[in-house]
Amino acid sequence: MQTLTRLDLDDARILMAGAEAHARTIGVPMCIAITDEAGQLIAFQRMEGGKVTSTTIAIDKAFTAAAAKKATHEYGTSSQPGAPAYGIASAIGGRLMVVGGGLPVLWEGEVVGGIGVSSGTPAQDQAVAQAGIDDWIARQAK
């Protein structure tokens, strides 16, 4: 296995292809964003029919997952009124996302990037993001 500290464009293409394939399987055109470990955008695509309003959301989901090193859905409960992270969604100029669809990409226990998906339900977005990661991991093992 290779040593990996951050995603590159080739990795982003693999993540994107795996996510897009799953989006096609479930019949939901998505916006898909891939970032490096610092949350900086590497690649983005809006599938034909993906919601224009989901462009920024997908990018911010990938940013949150990578930079905060945490899946976006994990912020959902903790960001509700009365919870410890209430108000965090307005942090960083509103870029911090608290709905499902953003996952950190891990390699040997370290965050090497993020994937953000938007246009479906939070569960669909998360499943598409996970499919991208699963495909990328499977290809790393080869």
pLDDT computed for residue 1 by the predictor: 45
Confidence grade of residue 93 (pLDDT, cut at 50, 70, 90): confident
pTM of the entire predicted model: 0.93
What is d(CA 107, CA 36) in angstroms, rounded to the nearest whole number? Answer: 12
User: Are 135 and 14 spatial neighbours (Cβ–Cβ below 8 Å)?
Assistant: yes
**Segment 15-21 mean pLDDT:** 98
DSSP 64-116: HHHHTTS-THHHHHHTSTTSTTTTGGGHHHHT---SSSEEEEEETTEEEEEEE
